[in-house]
């Protein structure tokens, strides 16, 4: 009989997943900035250095191009590197190695060189870290063929999706929202004391989760926005609107079938995203949903995302651009003909 224990936040869940896989496989190595004593700043590798030592948990200089290149080389010769991109905002420094090598080498080698790399990166704002440390940017990775894009919203999913990544022969990017890590120095918006199985398990890529069933409107989100949509759904219920909440879990591969089925059931869809609005997740999902559910829609699909401005340092401005529970409620109400409150676009 499987037993469980409780975990608060996605960071310890990810670290536990890596630990359990490292204990069984000698090919997994961890590298990046501060992956040793600090556990990669946001705790994704906490405790691994103390258990596995410098041969398998390797602190690198602050040079993303170098350690992303190391990961590509290590994967090519049979290892499975777990590499920490501390903040997703720093991806530009390792752009060439990631976009032109990690994502493409398997294809360009005619399948001779697999690229089993798991990249861990922290995303999101809401705590005053300003423009260069508060972005989401998973849309950039989803845009490039070769990457799998994973966005866990719960500790259970964080562990299961990470184990799936570590067993996948392709490069997988895991985007962990800082406000879901459970770390004491950050505001926490996730599920406290979530039960997680003691033993390793996997969560399937390309399978969305219905976090709340409803009949009137579908709210679609990833990561932190899933939790804000759930809180918005509670408020909508008090107004007689029964909202269904879909957690996409992975952008690549994407579970279009679940999104379409929900849209056909409710007839109204709001897509909520903390990434930038233009050319991002909201537009892609809106197209895929309407392509297969247009005849069932009772209103045009609405989307709520970060307007095309850098994330402000100013707390009131930051809270203005990041979708809030209040704004999600207003946008959902607008699907029923109620005027949405003025929002930045």
Strands (E), 49-142: 57-59, 80-87, 118-123
Q: Is 244 a catalytic residue?
A: no
The answer to whether the beta carbons of residues 309 and 135 sit under 8 Å apart is no
Q: Which residue has the tokens 């990470």?
A: 162
Catalytic residue among 64, 194, 244, 331: 64
User: Which string of DSSP letters, residue by residue, matches 23-35?
Assistant: HH-TTEEEEETT-
The answer to whether the beta carbons of residues 120 and 83 sit under 8 Å apart is yes
* 3-class DSSP assignment, residue 219: strand
In angstroms, rounded to a whole number, what is the distance separating the alpha carbons of residues 206 and 190?
22
Pseudo-torsion of CA 262, 329, 325, 128, nearest 10°?
110
Q: Does a cis peptide bond (omega within 30 degrees of 0) precede residue 89?
A: no
In angstroms, rounded to a whole number, what is the distance separating the alpha carbons of residues 148 and 90?
19
* 3-class DSSP assignment, residue 126: coil
The answer to whether the beta carbons of residues 266 and 218 sit under 8 Å apart is yes
Catalytic residue among 101, 133, 177, 227: 133
User: Which string of DSSP letters, residue by residue, matches 15-68?
Assistant: HHHHHHHHHH-TTEEEEETT-STTIIIIITTTTHHHHH-TTTEEE--S-HHHHH
Residues recognised as catalytic? 64, 133
């Amino acid at each position: 009989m499987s037993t469980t224990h409780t975990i608060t936040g996605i960071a310890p869940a990810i670290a536990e997943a890596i630990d359990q896989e490292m204990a069984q496989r000698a090919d997994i190595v961890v590298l990046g900035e501060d992956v040793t004593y600090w556990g990669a700043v946001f705790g994704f590798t906490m405790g691994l250095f103390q258990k596995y030592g410098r041969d398998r948990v390797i602190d690198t200089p602050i040079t993303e191009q170098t350690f992303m290149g190391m990961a590509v080389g290590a994967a090519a010769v049979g290892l499975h590197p777990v590499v920490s991109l501390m903040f997703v905002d720093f991806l530009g420094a390792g752009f060439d190695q990631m976009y032109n090598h990690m994502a493409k080498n398997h294809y360009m080698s005619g399948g001779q060189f697999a690229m089993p790399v798991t990249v861990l990166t922290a995303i999101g704002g809401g705590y005053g870290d300003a423009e260069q440390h508060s972005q989401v940017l998973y849309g950039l990775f989803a845009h490039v063929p070769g990457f799998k894009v994973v966005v866990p919203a719960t500790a259970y999913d964080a562990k299961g999706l990470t184990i799936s990544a570590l067993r996948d022969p392709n490069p997988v990017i895991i985007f962990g929202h800082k406000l879901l890590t459970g770390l004491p120095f950050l505001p926490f918006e996730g599920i406290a004391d979530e039960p997680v199985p003691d033993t390793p398990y996997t969560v399937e890529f390309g399978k969305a989760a219905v976090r709340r069933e409803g009949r009137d409107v579908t709210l679609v989100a990833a990561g932190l926005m899933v939790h804000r949509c759930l809180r918005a759904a509670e408020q909508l219920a008090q107004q007689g609107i029964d909202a269904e909440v879909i957690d996409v879990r992975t952008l690549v591969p994407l579970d279009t079938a679940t999104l379409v089925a929900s849209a056909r059931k409710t007839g109204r869809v709001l897509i909520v995203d903390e990434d930038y609005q233009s050319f991002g997740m909201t537009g892609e999902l809106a197209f895929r949903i309407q392509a297969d559910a247009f005849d069932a829609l009772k209103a045009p699909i609405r989307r709520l995302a970060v307007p095309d401005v850098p994330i402000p340092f100013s707390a009131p401005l930051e809270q203005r651009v990041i979708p809030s529970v209040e704004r999600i409620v207003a946008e959902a109400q607008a699907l029923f003909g109620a005027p949405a409150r003025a929002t930045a676009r």
